[in-house]
Amino acid sequence: MVMKGKKGLIIGVANNKSIAYGIAKACKEQGAELAFTFLNEQLEKRVRPIAEEFGSSFVYELDVQNPAHIEALPGMIEKDFGKIDFFVHAVAFAPREALDGAFMNTTKEAFEIAMNVSVFSLIELTKALVPVMSENGSILTLSYLGGVKYIPHYNVMGVAKAALEMSVRYLAVDLGAQGIRVNAISAGPIKTLAASGIGDFRFILKWNEANSPLRKNVTIEEVGNSAMYLLSDLSSGVSGEVHYVDAGYNIMGMCAVDEEDGKATMVWDKYSSQN
């Protein structure tokens, strides 16, 4: 098994439909030993059964906006695991009101929250956890196409993902001499708890399915398998990359069209008329 003997921390799993769950599942199936974090008491009730499902009793409270949690985490990890070989950063948040309307109306408070939770947390956690990581370890975070192109209803999160992707590149250089790799996966839209805050998400799913080369949306299992590759020694020569797992949607330069009665009709228009 590819991940046999590897130990890793999954940060940000919310439920069994989240991308982080798909990553954990793929790593566990390939032999990895896992630990998990939970944000608060409400999410602890969801995360502990997931940890048990994957044969883990190592579950830690982690609110990335709480410095005490970050400071305490490495010590708990080292006590339970010794050294870890990888960690997954699946943390992002912006106030709901900052995900709609004109981007220029984003408040300073919303901007700072989005950047602190979604971007700086990766930097801060990397600094905290590297001392308890093995050489040739791997760090993985989650991005989205909205970090490089305009996506409706994404707004400040798009700016945060852009900063996150650049942070991956700078961190990759910082840690390269230690053999630690840093990468990101840019997943296509998936029905997750985080996605529920994005307006017109049902339409975005249909649009992606209609216009991606593979004519489908990806699953958490497909993202999980790609993540497992980036976390494993199979990708020992890969660092600083943003790997797209979106059925090829990111390569498209224009939307698909259908001809009806000799008239070109955008797929977007067809789906809009059906909703």
Q: Is 2 domain-assigned?
A: no
Tell me which residue of 57, 17, 65, 22 sits closest to 36, measured CA to CA: 57
Which pTM was predicted?
Answer: 0.91
SS (H, E, C) the chain: CCCCCCEEEEECCCCCCCHHHHHHHHHHHCCCEEEEEECCHHHHHHHHHHHHHCCCCCEEECCCCCHHHHHHHHHHHHHHHCCEEEEEECCCCCCHHHHCCCHHHCCHHHHHHHHHHHHHHHHHHHHHHHHHEEEEEEEEEEECHHHCCCCCCCCHHHHHHHHHHHHHHHHHHHHHCCCCEEEEEEECCCCCCHHHHCCCHHHHHHHHHHHCCCCCCCCHHHHHHHHHHHHCHHHCCCCCCEEEECCCHHHCCCCCEEEECCEEEEHHHHHHHHC
Sign of CA dihedral 150, 194, 90, 5: negative
- Work out whether strand 181-187 and strand 59-61 pair parallel, antiparallel, or are unpaired: unpaired
Sign of CA dihedral 41, 45, 48, 54: negative
Residue 78's CATH number: 3.40.50.720
* Regions in the chain scoring below 50 on pLDDT: 263-264
Q: Is 225 domain-assigned?
A: yes
Provide the domain limits for residue 21: 7-274
Annotated catalytic residue within 21, 60, 144, 170: 144
Annotated catalytic residue within 21, 154, 244, 249: 154
Q: Is 1 domain-assigned?
A: no
Q: What pLDDT is recorded for position 51?
A: 97
154 is catalytic: yes
Domain count, the chain: 1
Q: Is 77 domain-assigned?
A: yes
| Residue 273 CB neighbours (<10 A) | 8
170 is catalytic: no
